[in-house]
Amino acid sequence: EHALYDTVKNTILNCLEFGGRQHG
């Protein structure tokens, strides 16, 4: 199953997006 991978990927993307906003 790739569900776990998708969840982790989405979490990482959300973290990167949040971090980019903080520094942007």
Span 1-24, pLDDT tens digits: 789 999 999 999 999 999 888 766
Please state, as a whole number, how many other Cβ atoms lie within 10 Å of the Cβ of residue 8. Answer: 10
Please tell me the distance from the alpha carbon of residue 7 to that of residue 22, in angstroms, as a whole number. 22
pLDDT of residue 1: 74
Task: State the SS3 of the chain.
Answer: CCHHHHHHHHHHHHHHHHHHHHHC
Q: How many residues does the chain have?
A: 24
pTM above 0.85, yes or no: no
Please tell me the distance from the alpha carbon of residue 5 to that of residue 21, in angstroms, as a whole number. 24
